[in-house]
Structure 1
Amino acid sequence: MSAGRTAAPAAGRWVFHDGDFVAAADVRLGPDLQALQYGTGVFEGIRSYAGDSGEAHLFRAHDHFTRMIGSARLLRIAIEYSAAELVDIAAELLRRNGHTGDAYLRPLAYKTALEPGVPFGVRLRGVSCALTIVSLPMGSYLPKGGISCGISSWRRIPDSSLPARAKITGAYANNALATDEATAAGYDDAIFLNQAGHVAEASTANVFVVRAGRVVTPAQDADILEGITRDSVISLLRREAAIEVERRTVLRSELYTADEIFLTGTGCEIVPVTALDGRPVGSGVPGPLTRTVMDAYDRSVRGRDPHDEQDWLTPVHATPVLL
């Protein structure tokens, strides 16, 4: 196991499944599940953070569920709830599982079975759908002192084949191949190039590059996920450091000459890259701008920023509101 990584904790006792809160042990999904056979599911990762007052807050949950509904539309997966309703469901699940500290939610919408009269085959029409949401306690799982990355020999799947803007379950085999290659070589994570040979993203995170006080990140046409943490960081850099992030094509060589590199994602949060392909990034330690972003992000997600005017936090109230 790579440095700083630990086994994921067990999910909570309760899950939201097929329209109701049920015991996790009672959920049964068969081996003929269409999503299992063909990767026809979409998902999100959403974090909840404990504030100093002890009150937990979901971070940008409405934005995550909005993106998930869009991903589901691509695969003709019917989600019967609005983003606002899904936020309420997520908060209720956290309450039922007693996850008052830092936690993680995994909503998954997926194809289940062929409807009566639909012939066998790989298809999106004529297949029933389901929605399941689980929650589990989760703090930071990558070392804040920095990680090492390697440029993957696997290329990012292009938008013309499978859109990266949608979090499609089957697409993550691409990510798994890159991560496996990187960890086998002794790195903590992989950085993808796209089909044109330009920087795309890390295995499950967006990439930011700092050089001579300027910050760049690959543009959407680099076959990247439109990261919600990426968007948060762009806003925080504007406010905290008066820096406008450039969204453009990023060359591989720019990574090797960078002063700082950091990754952003719901799971990894903000993590410095201190070594790339066996070369130190900058001085080989987290740089000043990276540390500024990490601090600003932590204050924001925990409700410690009195100047934060963003509508990013949803309180997880102590009193249940049953749906």
Structure 2
Amino acid sequence: MAPKFPRYIWQNGRMVPGESATVHVLSHGLHYGSSVFEGIRVYRTPDGPRSFRLREHISRLYNSAKIYHLAIPYAQEEIEAACNQAVLANDLQGAYLRPLVFRGYAGLGLTAPADSPVEVIIAAIEWGAYLGAEGLENGVDVCVSSWNRVAPNTIPSGAKASGGYLSSQLISMEAKRHGYAEGIGLTTDGMIGEGAGENIFIVKDGKIYTPPAACSILAGITRDTVITLARAAGYEVHEQPMPREMLYFADEVFFTGTAAEVTPVRSVDRIAVGSGKRGPVTAEVQRRFFGLFSAETVDEWGWLQPVSAPVTPIASVAV
């Protein structure tokens, strides 16, 4: 089911009714994929709504934009404040935030002029478990895709650019056509890369393994969170290249991501992972991750940030 359309969207410095947020059909970003984005969770906590690692997400947004020479016309602090505005304007206690930076109308040339307009929107929506609430407990069935991840020095996998997600769409669509919840893309040399929109972890003999940034992955913020929480819990975590067969030898496999959060994988290519259900290490990682939002896990890293009052009163939104 499609997420409910937001009542208000922050667009180019002001809050506008969702149905009034429009984009020119000749925008460069629409034709050539010259856009970057983020996905950010806001969680309902005992202390009210809290954004999760908002600063790190917005910092990555600026880094992605830098690679593609997209000069964001706002300071990072302004974008962070606008994210809070979008949540509060829509009366949300929990939300998924989508900041998007794209090149506007700049003619039809592949290379846009240096002074071409750069636009920014931020939407806040209600969005549950990306791979299904049942999958968080029981795990999901996935496959290794026939589509590889992008090769190094082609499309930078470290940037969260919209055009790069055409690769992810091919991986995910193929998986769903064959009855799987998600697909896994290998690198061009056959090593494990990542899911279509998720990082991947493998558990073997009580140790946790995950592909390094050099394996054509987006080194995710949730991935970093899980590595930190797992090490704090006493687990060994190794970042190393891994061949495909490690997926079949694994005791446990799980995905991480802002949308996917921490989702167990119960089978790969119809081969059961371990016992075919969520394993104890995955369950412990989930407990510590979701415990951040119930106060069961102490946030000693300062990852949770209050959703503060908006800079611009909602009553003054554009109509």
Q: TM-score range by the shorter chain?
A: over 0.9
Closer, same or farther: CA 246–156 of 1 in aligned 2, 3 Å: same
> Which residue identity lines up with residue 136 of structure 1 in the other structure?
I
* 1:153 alignment partner in structure 2: 146
Seq. identity, %: 34
Q: Take 2:166 and 2:108, find their aligned partners in 1: how far apart are those partners?
A: 24
The runs of 5 or more residues in structure 1 that have no matched partner are 1-6
Matched, 1:260 2:252: yes
Deviation of the 1:60 alpha carbon: 0.4
* 1:173 alignment partner in structure 2: 166
Matched, 1:182 2:175: yes
> Which residue identity lines up with residue 180 of structure 2 in the other structure?
Y
* 1:322 alignment partner in structure 2: 312
**Match of residue 239, structure 1, among 232, 243, 248:** 232
The runs of 5 or more residues in structure 2 that have no matched partner are 314-319
Q: Take 2:310 and 2:23, find their aligned partners in 1: how far apart are those partners?
A: 28
Deviation of the 1:113 alpha carbon: 1.4
* 2:120 alignment partner in structure 1: 131
**Match of residue 23, structure 1, among 4, 7, 17:** 17
> Which residue identity lines up with residue 84 of structure 2 in the other structure?
A
Q: Take 2:39 and 2:11, find their aligned partners in 1: how far apart are those partners?
A: 16
Q: Which deviates the most, 242-251 or 124-133?
A: 124-133
Q: Which deviates the most, 131-140 or 286-295?
A: 131-140
Q: Secondary structure at the match of 2:284?
A: helix
Matched, 1:9 2:3: yes
- TM-score scaled by structure 2? 0.93
**Match of residue 37, structure 1, among 31, 34, 45:** 31
Deviation of the 1:320 alpha carbon: 4.1
Counterparts of 1:41-190 in structure 2, within 5 Å, are 41-53=35-47, 55-100=48-93, 102-114=94-106, 120-126=108-114, 127-141=116-130, 142=132, 143-144=135-136, 145-190=138-183
* 2:299 alignment partner in structure 1: 308
Deviation of the 1:120 alpha carbon: 4.2
Does the CA-based 8 Å contact 1:11-1:135 persist in structure 2?
no
**Count of residue pairs brought into register by the alignment:** 308
Does the CA-based 8 Å contact 2:142-2:180 persist in structure 1?
yes
Moved over 3 A (4+): none
Does the CA-based 8 Å contact 1:71-1:166 persist in structure 2?
yes
Q: Which deviates the most, 307-316 or 279-288?
A: 307-316
Q: Take 1:257 and 1:14, find their aligned partners in 2: how far apart are those partners?
A: 48
Structure 1 residues 148-187: Cα deviation after superposition (integer angstroms, max 9, x where no partner): 1100000001231000111111111111111111111111
> Which residue identity lines up with residue 28 of structure 2 in the other structure?
Q
Structure 1 residues 57-100: Cα deviation after superposition (integer angstroms, max 9, x where no partner): 00001000000000011111111333333222111211111011
Deviation of the 1:109 alpha carbon: 0.1
Q: Secondary structure at the match of 1:261?
A: strand
**RMSD of the TM alignment (CA)?**
1.4
Q: Take 1:71 and 1:321, find their aligned partners in 2: how far apart are those partners?
A: 26
